[in-house]
Structure 1
Amino acid sequence: MNHRQRTATGLVAAATATSLVIAIAPTASADTLDQRSQKAAAGIERITGTQDLAASSAAQGAAARSVTKTESGAVTVQAPEDATGNVRTTAPDGTVFGLGLSQTKSVEGVRAGSGTIVYPDAADSTDLAVQPTTEGGARTLVTLKDKNAPTEQRFDLQLPAGAHLAANDSGGYDIFQDSGEGSTVLKGTISAPWAKDANGKDVATSYKLEGGTLVQRIDTNGTTAFPVVADPHYTWGIVSGTVYFNKSETRKIALGGGLAATIIASIPAGFTTAAGITVAAITTMANIAQSHKKCLKIKSYGKPGEYSGKQGDGYCR
C-alpha cells in the first residue's frame, strides 16, 4: 500500500469512527437521562407510595396530562413539558389553579416509575417531580440529593379571579373563591407540608406565603440522611367543601326563609337539597349562629352549621 492509499484509508477510518461517536452519543445521553429519571422516580415513589397516583398520558404542550373523575366532575392536571413551567389544574367549572415549579433550570419532564413525572437535576443538587393524584390534585415534589441542595423551595401560585388563601390549623392553606355577595366557597386545599429523609424519618418543614409565592423551608441538619423528599400537595375544584356566609348574610337568611331558598338556588353544583340541605334547616341554623354571634356555613352533603374565627378567611365579620 503506497503513502496516498494509506492516507485515504486513514481518513476513511477516522470519518467512520467520528460517525460512530456522533451516532452513539445521543443514545448514551438519552439512556443516562432515562436512568436518572427512573432512579429519581423510584426514590420518590418509595416515600409517597403509588396507590393514589392518577393515570396520565402524554399530551401536546405537556409532559403528561391526567383526567380524574370526582364527585364534582372531571379535574384535569397537566404537568409542564419543562421544569420552568407551571402545573395547571382545571376544575369542573373551568377555573384553573396553577403552581410554578421551584426556581429551576430548563429540564424536560420524563414520565417514569408508576407515573411520576420527573425533572432530573432541575436545580442545584435537586430533582423536581409531579404526581397527579386521584382526589383531583397533584403532589409537586422536590428531592434534595445532598447537603448542597437549597433548603428553601419557592412555588409561584396562579389563582383565578376571586380566589385567595387562608392558613388552616394543619399548617397548610385553604383555597377559597368568592361565590357571590357575602359568601365564599372552599374550593381547594394545600395540605400540610411534609419531608422525609432516605431512612423514612420525618424532617421538620413549614410553609409561609410571600405575596403570591408559597415558600417551603426544609430543616436539614448534620444527621439528615440524603436524599430528602418534600411535598407541596394540593387539590383544586372539589366543590364538596363548604360555603361560608358573613354576618350580614347570616342575619338576612335568619330573618327570611325566602332568602334561604334563593341561597340554595345560587349554591354551586354539588350542594343539593337532596343531600338534606333545606330552607328550614338553613333558616334554623342561621338563627342559631346569629344568637351565638357567629356565622352560617353550609357543607356539601352535610348539615348547615356555624363558624367563627379564621374559617372562610375572616368572612364572619
Structure 2
Amino acid sequence: MTSGIVATTVAGALLMTIAPTATAGGLPSQAERTARIIEGATGTQDLAAAVPQNGALTASVTDESGVTTTARAPKSSAGEIEITAPDGSVVGLSLPQSRTVEGSLAGAGTTVYTDAAASTDIAVQLTADGGARALTSLKDANAPAQQRYELNLPAGTQAVANETGGFDLVRRSDSDGPDVAIGAIDAPWAKDANGKDVPTSYKLNGSTLIQDVEINKDTAFPVVADPKVSTGWFLYVKFSKSEVKKYESKVKYAPGGAVLCGLLAIPLASVACGAITGGSLTHLAGVWSSAAKYKKCVEMKFTLPGITPIPTYIGAKNYKC
C-alpha cells in the first residue's frame, strides 16, 4: 500500500497558518531559514495538517473512506519517523544525525533539526497522502556527502531494489500466496541552491539505506536531498514465475478476479480487487498468458475505493524478477 517516509527535504500545507519563528531581533530563526530552503526545493502543496501527538513532535492522520494511515515526526533527531499503514504495519526510518537536537516546526509545516550533523540540517515533512519525507540540507562542502538511514521494517518484510533506483518494501509470503509490496522508497533526488539536479543514488547495506550525493567544486550550496518511504493508498502484488504458471489456467478460464482475491492474504484485499471485471479481466488474462509463455513474473496494481475512480484494477505488467 502507499503512504510515506522520506529522507531529505520536503514541504506541505497545514490547515492553519503557522507564524514564522523569529529571533529577538526580528530576523528569521535558523530553523525558519532552513525550512524556507527545503520548501523552496520541494514545494508545500502536498504537506499534511500536522497535530501534536504523544511520543511525537507532530503527526498526521489521513483517512480515506475509513482507511487510515498515520505518520509521525520524532521530537528529536535521535528518534525515528514512523508510518502506520492501514493494515497496522509500522515502517520506521531513523534520521542521519550525529548529535541529538530537539525539533521545531517551521515554514509551512516542516520539522527542522538544526545542525543535527556536521554542516547539515535535517528536516521531516508529513505529506497529505499519509506519508513522510526525511530531508537533509547540506550547508557547505564540509557536510557529509553520504547519508545513512536505518530502516525498521515489519517482520517478514524486505527492501527490494526496483528499476526506478528506489526500493519496494515487500512482505514475503510464508504460504502459497504471492509476495506483497506494502510500501516503497521512491527514487532519490537532490538539488543545489540554483535548483540544479545533483547526481544521487541509493544502496542498501543490511537494514541501512545509504544515499550518496555527488558533490564537486561546481556545486552550489545548500544542497537538499531526499529519500521517501511510503505505505499508502496503492496495493502492489507480485507473482513469481512459478506462481504465474501455476495459476495460468485459473486466470484464463475462471473468474480471474475472484481467483486472485482469494490469493491475497492481506486486509482489504477483497475490496481492492473485487472490481476486476469485463475488459480488465480480459486484459489480465492476456498479460498472464504472455507472462507464462515467456517465463516472466507479473506485477498487479490496485487502488482502494474512494481514492481513484473505478476500475479498481489498474493493470498488470511484466516486471523484472
TM-score by length of 2: 0.79
1:18 maps to which residue?
none
Alpha-carbon deviation of 1:251?
A: 2.5
Determine which structure has the larger helix proportion and give its number. Answer: 1
1:190 aligns with 2:191: no
Q: Distance in 1 between matches of 2:63 and 2:211?
A: 30
1:68 maps to which residue?
62
CA contact (8 A) 1:182 1:246 kept: no
1:217 aligns with 2:212: yes
2:262 maps to which residue?
265
1:290 maps to which residue?
292
User: CA 1:72–1:264 in 2, change beyond 3 Å: closer, same or farther?
Assistant: farther
1:10 maps to which residue?
none
Q: Distance in 1 between matches of 2:64 and 2:118?
A: 37
1:246 maps to which residue?
240
User: CA 1:222–1:281 in 2, change beyond 3 Å: closer, same or farther?
Assistant: closer
Gaps of 5+ in 2: 1-21, 303-311
User: CA 1:71–1:276 in 2, change beyond 3 Å: closer, same or farther?
Assistant: farther
Amino acid at match of 2:275: A
Residue 196 of structure 2 aligns to a residue in which SS?
coil
Which residue, out of 214, 221, 227, partners 2:222?
227
User: CA 1:289–1:202 in 2, change beyond 3 Å: closer, same or farther?
Assistant: closer
Q: Distance in 2 between matches of 1:210 and 1:89?
A: 22
For the pair shown, which has the larger CA radius of gyration, 1 or 2?
1
User: CA 1:210–1:66 in 2, change beyond 3 Å: closer, same or farther?
Assistant: same
User: CA 1:46–1:128 in 2, change beyond 3 Å: closer, same or farther?
Assistant: same
Amino acid at match of 1:287: S
Gaps of 5+ in 1: 1-27
Q: Distance in 2 between matches of 1:30 and 1:177?
A: 51
Render the CA deviation track for 1:69-89: whole Å, top value 9, x for unaligned.
357922111111110111000
Cα-Cα RMSD: 2.8
Residues 297-306 or 107-116, more deviating: 297-306
Q: Where does 1:118-129 land on structure 2 (aligned, <5 Å)? A: 118-129=112-123
Instruction: Name the % identity.
Output: 44
Alpha-carbon deviation of 1:190?
A: 1.1
CA contact (8 A) 1:296 1:305 kept: yes
Q: Where does 1:19-34 land on structure 2 (aligned, <5 Å)? A: none
Q: Distance in 2 between matches of 1:213 and 1:55?
A: 29
User: CA 1:286–1:203 in 2, change beyond 3 Å: closer, same or farther?
Assistant: closer
Alpha-carbon deviation of 1:196?
A: 1.1
Q: Where does 1:289-308 land on structure 2 (aligned, <5 Å)? A: 289-300=291-302, 301-302=312-313, 305-308=316-319
Q: Distance in 1 between matches of 2:196 and 2:288?
A: 46
Render the CA deviation track for 1:111-164: whole Å, top value 9, x for unaligned.
111110110111111100000112221111001111111111100001111211
TM-score by length of 1: 0.80
